């Protein structure tokens, strides 16, 4: 299924990676894990929620990109919308301090070169290295943010029941958001602490992003209409 190896400039000198967003390249995900520094970039496009890792049960933050399995409603937007780091990273992973790549990933083959003729990292590879410099500590900061909210009992489950123009409904479960009632009850000293740590703005970004759920539903409705016009053509 996957063949993850450490990246080196000798063996992988001529390796190329396709960086364009595409459903065929693994971007077909309706929910993608994100880090707190991405909140301001994402909250203007899509809903942000907490969810649980199926394997460990641990909470993580994620951006909702669609309603159905493998549905990413932002794929056609190209570069107009911010693309989460977890999609931008493509076939790359970190193994300790080193960069690793999944050679069986569909992105590997054509596209951007990773190294120059003399083995120096390409601009693309440099951007990937920078991406992980943000992502790795970002994951840790996101975990601390979540732990703080859990301790304050500020996270609550939320079920989305959305109706679409074609008459179908989706009941989306397994999502969690900010408990606004509990938020109103927290003592002043805690509010101040949350503010100083930058958490208060993250909290309000998450709350504000809930308004993106109907916007996302409209995106899906447009895809029905697009389908209709196609079938008429």
Binding residues vs another protein (CB under 8 A) = 52-59, 150, 153, 155-157, 174, 176
Residue tagged 């050679």 (tokens): 103
CB of 54 to another protein, least distance (A): 6
CB of 55 to another protein, least distance (A): 7
Q: Is 207 exposed, middle or buried (0-12, 13-18, 19+ CB in 10 A)?
A: middle
> SS3 sequence, 91-106?
CEEEECCEEEEECCCC
Instruction: Kindly state the tokens that stand for 106.
Output: 């569909």
Nearer to another protein, 157 or 214 (CB): 157
Nearer to another protein, 175 or 216 (CB): 175
CB of 120 to another protein, least distance (A): 41
CB of 196 to another protein, least distance (A): 25
Nearer to another protein, 95 or 150 (CB): 150
10 near 54, Cβ under 8 Å?
A: no
Nearer to another protein, 104 or 147 (CB): 147
How far is the C-alpha of 138 from the C-alpha of 61, rounded, in Å? Answer: 11
Nearer to another protein, 32 or 154 (CB): 154
Residue 177 β-bridge partners: 156
Residues composing the chain: 233
CB of 199 to another protein, least distance (A): 18
């Amino acid at each position: 299924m996957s063949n993850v190896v450490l990246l080196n400039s000798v063996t992988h000198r001529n390796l190329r990676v396709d960086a364009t967003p595409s459903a065929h390249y693994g971007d077909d995900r309706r929910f993608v894990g994100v880090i707190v520094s991405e909140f301001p970039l994402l909250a203007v496009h899509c809903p942000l929620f907490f969810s649980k890792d199926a394997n460990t049960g641990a909470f993580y933050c994620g951006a909702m990109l669609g309603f159905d399995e493998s549905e990413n409603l932002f794929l056609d937007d190209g570069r107009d919308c911010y693309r989460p780091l977890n999609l931008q990273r493509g076939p790359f992973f970190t193994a300790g301090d080193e960069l690793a790549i999944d050679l069986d990933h569909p992105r590997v083959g054509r596209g951007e070169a990773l190294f120059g003729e003399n083995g120096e990292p390409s601009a693309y590879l440099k951007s990937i290295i920078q991406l992980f410099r943000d992502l790795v500590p970002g994951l840790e900061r996101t975990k601390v943010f979540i732990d703080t909210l859990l301790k304050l009992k500020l996270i609550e489950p939320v079920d989305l029941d959305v109706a679409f123009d074609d008459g179908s409904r989706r009941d989306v479960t397994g999502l969690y958001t900010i408990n606004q009632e509990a938020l109103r009850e927290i003592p002043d000293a805690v509010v101040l602490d949350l503010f100083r740590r930058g958490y208060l703005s993250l909290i309000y970004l998450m709350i504000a992003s809930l308004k993106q759920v109907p916007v996302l539903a409209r995106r899906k409705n447009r895809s029905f209409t697009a389908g209709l016009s196609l079938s008429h053509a």
